[in-house]
Amino acid sequence: QAKRKGKSCYQWFQERFEQQMLARLYMEKGLREAIANNHLVLHYQPIVDLVTGTAVGLEALVRWQHPERGLAFPDQFMSVAEESGLIVDMGQWVLRAACQFGKELLDNGKELNLAVNVSVKELLQADFVDQVALVLSETAFPSRYLELEIVETLLIENFSVAIPKLRALRSIGVQISLDDFGTGYSSLHYLTELPIDIIKIDRSFLAGAMESNKQAAIVETMVALAHRLQLTVVAEGVETEEQRQFLKQLCCDKVQGYLISKPVDQAKVYELI
């Protein structure tokens, strides 16, 4: 009896494993086609200056416009993109599309920074810096308007390889943001050595800051620390007026979140700004 049960249990896992593998392969195939067939779209979320209250930048966020299944969000496909290496091609597409849009806005008199998320796999490509320079020149988008956002944890795990790349990017005029700041554990140790311009406080800190004095103290300290290091600080995930006021009091530089706007498509950007 036990033996039979054990065997069926094994079979069950085996089948589940195979199903998951197939689903992943299927997703990978779909994603590859989506990149080739231009089924990706960028949505843009405004980043607002806390003093003037005006939009000074946009963060480009990728979506997969599936012909049958509708709009898919990064949490549904980013892990497959990362693990399969498709993130490299996807990242190239995203960078080019964002720079093209940034240039279009400039030509219409809208001077906005464009923030583009970059995965560490992309950054570690041997020719990444050259590719960025190429896209900037081909789209005629001035490098000073481009910000590349890199997630803190992954950057620190690849510290020694990443540093020279970040330096090279900054030397061509691109700004570097440390995304999801505070979610890593060794951040303070490395913070002084990272060649960065901007810190983005992860939204998990904001969420708790209104309920707990201790959480509020952490946000306050992050803003102060960033300023001591002469970095610009952006708070992500600002959803309430109360949070915005709190950040304004702390002299946080910029905010981004549903309070101002959800990420919107290209056409809506013109209505917003």
Burial of 178 (0-12, 13-18, 19+ CB in 10 A): buried
**Under rule CB under 5 A, residue 117 binds Mg ion:** yes
Q: Does 253 bind ligand C2E (CB under 6 A)?
A: no
In whole angstroms, give the CA distance from residue 235 to residue 70: 30
Q: Please give the DSSP secondary-structure letter assigned to residue 258.
A: T
Among 44, 50, 72, 180, binds ligand C2E (CB under 6 A): 180
Residue 149 interacts with Mg ion (CB under 5 A): yes or no? yes
Find which of ligand C2E, Mg ion, none residue 73 binds, CB within 5 to 8 Å per kind: ligand C2E
Q: Which residues pair with residue 149 across a beta bridge?
A: 117, 177
Name the minimum Å distance from CB 201 to Mg ion. Answer: 9
Closest by CA to 140, choosing from 92, 109, 110, 107, is 107
CA 219, CA 247: separation in Å to the nearest integer?
9
Choose the binding region for ligand C2E from 17-25, 49-57, 112-120, 219-227 (rule: CB under 6 A).
112-120
Size of the chain, expressed as the number of residues it contains: 273
Tokens of 225: 């620390």
Residues of this chain, 236-255, that bind Mg ion according to CB under 5 A? 236
Taking the complex as a whole, how short is the minimal distance between the CB of residue 20 and ligand C2E, in angstroms?
A: 22
DSSP 8-class letter at 240: S
Among 179, 222, 226, 243, binds Mg ion (CB under 5 A): 179
Query: 């069926």: which residue's tokens?
Result: 8
Helix (H, G, I), strand (E, B) or coil at 205: helix
The radius of gyration of the chain from alpha carbons, rounded to an integer in Å, stands at 21
Ranges within 55-84 binding ligand C2E (CB under 6 A):
61-62, 73-75, 78
Name residue, tokens 């219409």: 108
Q: Is 183 in the site for ligand C2E (CB under 6 A)?
A: no
User: x/- binding map, residues 5-34, to ligand C2E, per CB under 6 A?
Assistant: ------------------------------
Query: Which residue among 17, 185, 258, 270 contacts ligand C2E (CB under 6 A)?
Result: 258
Residue 13 or 204: which CB sits closer to Mg ion? 204
Bridge-partner residues for 198, per DSSP? Answer: 177, 232
Q: How far is the CB of 82 from ligand C2E (least distance, A)?
A: 8
Residue 46 makes contact with ligand C2E by CB under 6 A: no
Tokens for 235? 């708070």
How far is Cα of residue 204 from the mean position of the Cα atoms in its chain?
15
Minimum CB distance to Mg ion smaller for 80 or for 201: 201
Judged by the rule CB under 5 A, the positions of this chain that interact with Mg ion are: 117, 149, 179-180, 236
Residues within the interface to ligand C2E (CB under 6 A): 45, 61-62, 73-75, 78, 91, 94, 117-119, 149, 179-180, 203, 236-239, 256-258, 263
